[in-house]
Amino acid sequence: MLTTYITLTHLKENPKSFSIIGFIIARFLRLTPQLAIVISLSLIVPLLGSGPLWTEVMTTFIGPCYENWWTNLAYIQNFVRTYNQCLIHTWYTACDMQYHLLSILVMIPLVYFSTGKKGYGYLVNISIVVIFYFACWIGVNAYQLPPAIINTARK
Q: Following DSSP, what letter does each residue of the chain receive, concatenated?
A: -HHHHHHHHHTSS-GGG--HHHHHHHHHHHHHHHHHHHHHHHHHGGGG--STTHHHHHHHHTTTHHHHHHHHHTT-TTTSSGGG-SSGGGHHHHHHHHHHHHHHHHHHIIIIITTTSTTHHHHHHHHHHHHHHHHHHHHHHHTT--SS-------
Higher pLDDT, 123 or 76: 76
Does any domain span residue 152? no
Does any domain span residue 103? yes
Residue 44 domain boundaries: 2-142
Does any domain span residue 129? yes
Does any domain span residue 155? no
Number of domains comprising the chain: 1
Q: Does the pLDDT at position 65 exceed 70? A: yes
Does any domain span residue 95? yes
- Tens of pLDDT, residue by residue over 31-59, are 999 999 999 998 888 888 888 888 888 88
